[in-house]
Amino acid sequence: MNYRPIRTFVAVGPGVDVKRISALMPHAPEVDVVALVPSLAESWQTLQATQSDLLLVCTQDSEESVSFVRAAVAERPGRPVVALFEGSPNWFVGRLFEAGADDLVTIPTDLAGDSAVVRSAREQAVAHEVLFALQKAMARRQTAGGANATDHARMITVLGPKGGVGKTLTTASLAVSLAASGRRVVIVDLDLQFGDVGLSLGLAPGKTIDQLASSGGSLDADKAEDYLVTHEPSGAKVLLAPTRPDHASLVVVEFLRELYEVLTSSFEYVIIDTPPGFTPEVITSIDVSTDVCMIGMLDSLSLKNTKLGLETLDLMGYDPANVRLVLNRADSRVGITRDDVHAIVGRPPDVLVPSHRDIPRSVNQGVPLVLSDPKSEAARSFRQLAAVYDPEFESRSKGRGRRRLFGREKI
Ligand SMILES: Nc1ncnc2c1ncn2[C@@H]1O[C@H](COP(=O)(O)OP(=O)(O)O)[C@@H](O)[C@H]1O
Ligand SMILES: [Mg+2]
């Protein structure tokens, strides 16, 4: 996982001293306090408009705090809530957990009697405990499986050093495979000038990413949904690229950050198709992605470029453990072996996709090969890739894919 501080929204309940709370906040690079609001009513108003990963509610015994926690959890179930409780632990603690708090740290009512040195040491100890609680709450959400799958959304940025290597093909095939297995998947076509995800999936023209970016007002899941087009056979959603290259500049990185935040809270997989090269938009996407899927081709020039791409990711501090390497058009007859790839690129490929004569036609017809010829070796390779990103892919796909394909089952 790429490193990012926990953006923490601090809401301070009735009777709790804001100054005291700020002294207890961890001053660590792992935490970014995005807001510290001295009243719950005011917190409620600002909470929706503030990008945060976690909510820290500071409270004494107060019904208002319990209602606040309950409402915040209902409003965004994927965001963990930690309570900082001032007072001696009593029945009230249980009520906070019932309302949906993930963790709780207690602080003694008053440290005023202590000497400055002792007070500072105790504050630091509490700050440590708070930091640990925040990290635990985040980690639990990220690793929790099951019902509320949006808590562990994977965002996969598909990269390739140049045009024509198969980025769009891979994006579409991966997205359709995961969606057909019942996963909630959205593709963002970030090839802002020449995006062709819509064409490759046979989608009718619809609303586009630049329209969403320039629509004004705040962005939430409902609004984003309104701009997505559905690939009916699989259920995958797509945010289409601008129809005109000159509209690309409307899509700025601040918008993208907000967009990804919204999409990762309502989809299980957010898959980003990109133009060649490390544009600012691509870099922003990599930064917030959980995974990068690098596409290369099996010739020495492409492999050299792929190596450069991987080195650039390294320089950006992106964890290599979250990078997968797909080699497209990987036919044995080109005379480069897996070992050669390892030697040139510095790592072995994760998935090899062979050339298939029907792929250009399937792209032109807008029916991905994973649907039109699921038994082909190329389709198998893309399913193998889907299984890399979803350990349950095989078991989920059994039967379901076919039903969905032919019966247009609505999930
Ligand atoms: N494995 C393959 N076998 C056959 N044709 C392929 C294969 N991969 C890509 N192509 C062809 O190359 C074209 C370019 O691929 P695309 O995914 O659009 O590349 P990119 O998005 O990297 O520019 C596709 O439209 C398709 O016709
Ligand atoms: Mg493309």
Point out the ligand nearest to the CA of residue 161: 1
pLDDT tens, position by position, 135-194: 888 877 665 543 333 446 999 999 998 899 999 999 999 999 999 999 999 999 999 999
Lowest mean pLDDT among 93-97, 180-184, 259-263: 93-97
CATH architecture group of domain 153-407 = 3-Layer(aba) Sandwich (3.40)
Backbone angles phi, psi at 276, to 5 degrees: -65, 145
Note the pLDDT of residue 399: 56
d(CA 172, CA 330): 19
Is the Cβ atom of 242 under 6 angstroms away from ligand 1? no
Is the Cβ atom of 79 under 6 angstroms away from ligand 1? no
Most confident range (mean pLDDT) of 99-113, 118-132, 238-252, 303-317 is 238-252
CA of 326 to the centre of ligand 2 (A): 15
Q: Whose CA is nearest to atom 11 of ligand 1?
A: 360
Note the pLDDT of residue 61: 87
Is the Cβ atom of 174 under 6 angstroms away from ligand 1? no
d(CA 370, CA 367): 8
CA of 194 to the centre of ligand 2 (A): 8
Q: What is the DSSP letter of 242?
A: P
Q: Which residues are close to ligand 2, an ion, with C-beta < 5 A?
A: 167-168
Does the pLDDT at position 239 exceed 90? yes
Does the pLDDT at position 332 exceed 60? yes
Note the pLDDT of residue 264: 94
Nearest to 158 by CA among 263, 47, 262, 275: 275
153-407 has the same fold as 6-143: yes
Q: What is the mean pLDDT of residues 271-285?
A: 94
What is the DSSP track for 163-218?
A: TTSSHHHHHHHHHHHHHHTT--EEEEE--TTT--HHHHTTPPP--BHHHHHTS-S-
Is the Cβ atom of 356 under 6 angstroms away from ligand 1? yes
Q: Which CATH superfamily is domain 6-143 in?
A: Response regulator (3.40.50.2300)
d(CA 293, CA 54): 28
Index of the ligand 1 atom closest to the CA of residue 360: 27
Structure pTM?
Answer: 0.67
Note the pLDDT of residue 339: 85
Note the pLDDT of residue 111: 61
Ramachandran region, residue 182 (left: φ > 0; alpha: ψ -120 to 50; beta: rest) = left
Q: Which of 294, 363, 382 to mutate to test the pocket of ligand 1 (most atoms within 8 A of CB)?
A: 363
Q: Per-domain residue ranges for the chain?
A: 6-143, 153-407
Is the Cβ atom of 404 under 6 angstroms away from ligand 1? no
Does the pLDDT at position 224 exceed 80? yes
Mean pLDDT, the chain, integer: 88
Note the pLDDT of residue 407: 39
Does the pLDDT at position 51 exceed 90? no
pLDDT tens, position by position, 354-394: 999 999 999 999 999 999 999 999 999 999 999 999 999 99
Is the Cβ atom of 193 under 6 angstroms away from ligand 1? no
Does the pLDDT at position 275 exceed 50? yes
| Percent with pLDDT over 90 in the chain | 64
- Is residue 118 exposed (0-12), middle (13-18) or buried (19+ Cβ within 10 Å)? exposed
